[in-house]
């Protein structure tokens, strides 16, 4: 079993889910007393959130590169970044390390392609929904992306940062997300990408009537499959 390196803390609530999902997948595949070989570097999300608010992506990229190098130096065989938004920094992270990096959008794209779907709606932070770093990768898998209207994007983003990253789960916010998802379905979305690692804390498959793609679960389980390859 190879050692999975995780960059967590963005937020720690979703990072704990990564750790749980990874070990559950190892137990499912190997049974017995098996658990995952892993190393986690966890950052302070207050620093990340402050720099995001200032739109200081060079500083954010530097932090992510340093975390990736720490994992490499600690003996990780693979790097996964336990957040969607910070994949904005992934190109420079890959350039500055020598071990494989598993991009969350590649893992998600493969999962969607296996289901034969082509038109998906993307929910996430404003950065994930509005910038091209995520959508460009998904296009390689023949996937067309819809994003919510501006006011809906603002609501989605606000709920993530003011509630979900703080562990607050509100039924009223779930209803807002469900309304937005219904609107996207009516515009032709065949499925919904939960493109923020906190959104699955709020929205489950039972909440909607079209397929959802939980990027946290997809990414974590894909990392295990990689770690167990010969």
pLDDT at 211: 97
Among 61, 82, 196, 216, the one annotated catalytic: 196
User: 180 pLDDT band (50/70/90 cuts)?
Assistant: very high
pLDDT at 4: 98
Q: pLDDT tens digits, residue range 30-57?
A: 999 999 999 999 999 999 999 999 999 9
Q: pLDDT tens digits, residue range 65-80?
A: 999 999 999 999 999 9
Question: What are the φ and ψ backbone dihedral angles of 77, each rounded to 5 degrees?
Answer: -100, -15
* 196 catalytically annotated: yes
- Output the average pLDDT for the chain: 96
* 89 catalytically annotated: no
Q: How far is CA 132 from CA 6, 17, 117, 147, in A?
A: 24, 27, 20, 12
pLDDT at 225: 96
Among 61, 82, 83, 89, the one annotated catalytic: 83
Percent of the chain with pLDDT strictly greater than 70: 100
Pairing type for strands 78-81 and 4-8 reads parallel
pLDDT at 230: 77
Structure tokens at 140: 């390689």
pTM of the shown model: 0.92
């Amino acid at each position: 079993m190879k050692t999975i390196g995780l960059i967590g803390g963005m937020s720690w609530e979703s990072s704990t889910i990564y750790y749980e999902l990874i070990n559950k997948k190892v137990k499912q595949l190997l049974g017995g007393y098996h658990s995952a070989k892993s190393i986690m570097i966890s950052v302070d999300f207050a620093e990340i959130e402050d720099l995001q608010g200032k739109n200081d992506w060079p500083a954010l990229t530097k932090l992510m590169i340093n975390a990736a190098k720490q994992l490499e130096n600690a003996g990780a065989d693979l790097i996964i970044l336990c957040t969607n938004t910070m994949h904005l920094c992934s190109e420079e992270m890959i350039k500055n390390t020598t071990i494989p990096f598993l991009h969350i959008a590649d893992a998600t794209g493969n999962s969607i392609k296996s289901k034969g779907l082509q038109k998906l709606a993307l929910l996430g932070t404003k950065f994930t929904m509005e910038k091209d770093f995520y959508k460009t990768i998904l296009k390689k898998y023949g996937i067309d992306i819809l994003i919510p209207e501006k006011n809906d994007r603002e609501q989605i983003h606000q709920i993530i940062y003011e509630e979900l990253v703080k562990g607050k789960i509100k039924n009223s916010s779930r209803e807002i997300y469900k309304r937005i998802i219904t609107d996207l379905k009516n515009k032709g979305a065949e499925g919904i990408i939960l493109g923020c690692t906190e959104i699955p804390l709020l929205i489950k498959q039972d909440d909607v009537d079209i397929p959802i793609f939980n990027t946290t679960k997809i990414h974590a389980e894909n990392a295990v499959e990689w770690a167990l390859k010969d």
